[in-house]
Amino acid sequence: MSSYGVRRLVAINSGNYEFADIDLSKSVHLAAPNNRGKSTLVNALQFLYIDHFDKMRFGHRNHEDTRKHYFGSDRSYLVFECLTTSGVQC
């Protein structure tokens, strides 16, 4: 039986990613040189877990820079796939 919760993070034109699809249903290890987007992916989880933008923290970035970083155009998306009691939801 699968446990409920977040299962996948998909970033489309968001946070300097053209496309990223991360399976979060099991342990994830991010390894890459500096400035490759590891923190961007980890920090994106705040959009799912923290309900007020002013309480989110993105290192040295202010809130306006953060909005532009993750949602720089009308074609920028962060999609979270979650397993709930009623099934898979995005």
Q: Encode pLDDT of 46-82 as tens digits.
A: 999 999 988 898 888 888 999 999 999 999 999 999 9
Q: Is the pTM of this model over 0.75?
A: yes
Neighbours of 45 (CB within 10 A): 15
Q: What is the pLDDT of residue 61?
A: 86
Q: How many Å apart are CA 69 and CA 65, to the nearest integer? A: 6
CA angle 24, 29, 60 (to 5 degrees): 90
Q: What is the pLDDT of residue 20?
A: 95
Q: Which residues of 26-36 are buried (b: 16+ CB within 10 A; e: fewer)?
A: eeeeeeeeeee
